[in-house]
């Protein structure tokens, strides 16, 4: 585990945030929160792995005995986190309860990992009936949204990797190939360029381009198609990539070229609008107003962006209603789209808010690439 990315003071800072939120502990099963605190990419299994971060006292990781070597290899002990292994016939929930009572006395309110499995939520409730369960996400939100320099570097590494994949895409898009064939090649390229996991491959051609979350189908690419390619994966660091470019196979329809120019200007303007103190919703409005003024407002059917880090979608969301002021270190996508129906387009970059404005992490060409 990279000690700059997952620093040794992180459990302490998370404990401080837990105290500040008036909770007695966080209980984190495998997922992005547990990884954020420790760097440990634990498996989500029916056997309980649970990191307990008490507001006061030492954090501990309850871990199945057979997973202990993996937890040790991840360097969890380096952070001062105590490893508590349980054997197949032990009750790990009773173990959590006993140690939590010893650490926190009256257990009170605890924050659970946002996507802890319901079976675990209910078992914990059964062994700690006096405990009030709430979510850990809001406690960690402020810390996770403001990326450290090491986290920004990890996101930049992810972005550079997905840019290299986009550089290969024109060579993969040919009339006569299906979206699925192209998608399989892109998935292989995502891994070849350094990701450990393919998170999504959207190859949306022709009318499918008008469906923002279309993934892959058997549709065969034909001349005159517009193809929206939105791809992302997870790097060994745990940090994610996500970038969209729109391609055309041969000359696209004239009405497409007209709105693609509008989209490119709107995406550019939204990136330029990013700076500390500006609200998340105003970045959305910057893109949306330009698209609306050009007459395509009804075809921009999603928010402008989402935060990214250990998850490909996390806070802050760049959407109307989110008055959150942007701050240095926040990383998010800027991805307006226009989807009239016959075809569609989206351009997506990951940007980081800095004192000087937006730092764009994706830098492959935003011009319409005609293959
Ligand atoms: Zn995307
Ligand atoms: Zn995205």
Mean pLDDT computed over 253-258: 95
> How many A from CA of 166 to the centre of ligand 2?
15
> How many A from CA of 159 to the centre of ligand 2?
12
Ligand minimally distant from the alpha carbon of residue 245: 1
Q: Indicate if the pLDDT at residue 106 is higher than 90.
A: no
Which residues are within 5 Å of ligand 2 (an ion), measured at CB?
242, 333
CA distance 25 to 3: 24
In this prediction the pTM is 0.96
Mean pLDDT computed over 257-273: 98
> The tokens of 306 are what?
């989402």
66: closest CA among 86, 95, 92, 89? 86
Ligand minimally distant from the alpha carbon of residue 246: 1
> How many A from CA of 86 to the centre of ligand 1?
40
Q: Indicate if the pLDDT at residue 3 is higher than 90.
A: no
| Res. 282 pLDDT band, cuts 50 70 90 | very high
What integer pLDDT is reported at residue 40 of this predicted model? 96
- SS3 readout for the chain: CCCCCCCCCHHHHHHHHHHHCCCCEEEECCCHHHHHHHCCCCCCCCCCCEEEEECCCCCEEEEEHHHHHHHHHCCHHHHCCEEEEECCCCCHHHHHHHHHHHHHCCCCEEEECCCCCHHHHHHHHHHCCCCEEEECHHHHHHHHHCCCHHHHHHHHHHHHHHHHHHHHHHHHCCCCCEHHHHHHHHHHHHHHCCCCEEEEEEEEEHHHHHCCCCCCCCCECCCCCEEEEEEEEECCCCCECCEEEEEECCCCCHHHHHHHHHHHHHHHHHHHHCCCCCEHHHHHHHHHHHHHHCCCHHHCCCCCEEECCCCCCEEEEECCCCCCECCCCCEEEECCEECCCCCCEECEEEEEEECCEEEECCCCCCCCEEC
Mean pLDDT computed over 277-281: 98
Q: Indicate if the pLDDT at residue 108 is higher than 80.
A: yes
Render pLDDT for 33-70 as a digit per residue (tens, 0 to 9). Answer: 999 999 999 989 999 999 999 999 899 999 999 999 99
Render pLDDT for 304-326 as a digit per residue (tens, 0 to 9). Answer: 999 999 999 999 999 999 999 99
What integer pLDDT is reported at residue 107 of this predicted model? 84
Q: List, in order, residues 6 or more apart from 161 with CB less than 8 Å away.
A: 190, 193, 194, 195, 233, 235, 241
What integer pLDDT is reported at residue 103 of this predicted model? 82
> How many A from CA of 98 to the centre of ligand 1?
44
> How many A from CA of 278 to the centre of ligand 1?
23
What integer pLDDT is reported at residue 75 of this predicted model? 92
What integer pLDDT is reported at residue 213 of this predicted model? 86
> How many A from CA of 233 to the centre of ligand 2?
11
CA dist 226 → 57, 206, 301 (Å):
57, 6, 18
Mean pLDDT computed over 75-83: 94
Q: Indicate if the pLDDT at residue 206 is higher than 90.
A: yes
> How many A from CA of 333 to the centre of ligand 2?
6
CA distance 67 to 242: 31
Render pLDDT for 150-171 as a digit per residue (tens, 0 to 9). Answer: 999 999 999 999 999 999 999 9
Render pLDDT for 175-192 as a digit per residue (tens, 0 to 9). Answer: 999 999 999 999 999 999
Ligand minimally distant from the alpha carbon of residue 244: 1
Q: List, in order, residues 6 or more apart from 286 with CB less than 8 Å away.
A: 266, 269, 270, 273
The percent of residues in the chain predicted with pLDDT above 70, rounded, is 100
Mean pLDDT computed over 229-245: 98
CA distance 207 to 200: 20
> How many A from CA of 362 to the centre of ligand 2?
12
Q: Indicate if the pLDDT at residue 104 is higher than 80.
A: no
> How many A from CA of 306 to the centre of ligand 2?
6
> How many A from CA of 74 to the centre of ligand 2?
29
Mean pLDDT computed over 79-92: 96
CA dist 189 → 101, 161, 164, 362 (Å):
49, 9, 9, 17
> How many A from CA of 317 to the centre of ligand 2?
11
Residue with tokens 């992180």: 10
| Res. 241 pLDDT band, cuts 50 70 90 | very high
> How many A from CA of 243 to the centre of ligand 2?
7
| Res. 366 pLDDT band, cuts 50 70 90 | very high
What integer pLDDT is reported at residue 337 of this predicted model? 98
> How many A from CA of 307 to the centre of ligand 2?
8
């Amino acid at each position: 585990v990279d000690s700059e990315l997952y620093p040794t003071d992180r459990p302490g800072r998370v404990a401080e945030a837990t105290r500040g939120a008036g909770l007695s502990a966080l209980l984190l099963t495998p997922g992005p929160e547990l990884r954020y605190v420790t760097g440990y990419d634990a498996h989500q299994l029916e056997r309980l792995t649970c990191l307990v971060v008490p507001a006061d006292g030492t954090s501990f990781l309850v871990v199945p005995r057979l997973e202990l070597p993996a937890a040790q290899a991840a360097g969890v002990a380096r952070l001062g986190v105590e490893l508590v292994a349980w054997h197949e016939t032990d009750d790990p929930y009773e173990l959590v309860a006993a140690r939590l009572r010893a650490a926190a006395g009256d257990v009170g309110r605890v924050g659970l990992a946002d996507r802890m499995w319901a079976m675990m939520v209910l078992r914990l409730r059964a062994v700690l009936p006096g405990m009030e369960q709430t979510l850990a996400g809001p406690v960690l939100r402020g810390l996770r949204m403001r990326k450290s320099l090491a986290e920004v570097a990890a996101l930049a590494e992810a972005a550079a990797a997905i840019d290299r994949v986009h550089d290969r895409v024109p060579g993969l898009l040919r009339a006569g190939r299906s979206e699925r064939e192209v998608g399989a090649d892109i998935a292989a390229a995502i891994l070849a360029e350094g990701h450990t996991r393919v998170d999504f491959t959207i190859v949306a051609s022709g009318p499918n381009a008008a469906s923002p979350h279309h993934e892959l189908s058997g549709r065969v690419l034909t001349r005159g198609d517009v193809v929206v390619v939105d791809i992302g994966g997870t790097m060994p660091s745990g940090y994610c990539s996500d970038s969209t470019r729109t391609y055309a196979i041969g000359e696209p329809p004239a009405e497409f070229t007209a709105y693609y120019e509008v989209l490119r200007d709107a995406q550019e303007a939204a990136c330029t609008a990013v700076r500390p103190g500006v609200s998340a919703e105003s970045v959305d409005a910057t893109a949306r107003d330009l698209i609306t003024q050009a007459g395509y407002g009804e075809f921009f059917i999603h928010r402008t962006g989402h935060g990214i880090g250990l998850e490909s979608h996390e806070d802050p969301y760049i959407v109307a209603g989110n008055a959150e002021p942007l701050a240095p270190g926040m990383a998010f996508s800027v991805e307006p789209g226009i989807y009239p129906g016959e075809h569609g387009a989206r351009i997506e970059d990951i940007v980081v808010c800095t004192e000087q404005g937006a730092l764009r992490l994706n830098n492959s060409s935003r011009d319409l690439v005609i293959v």
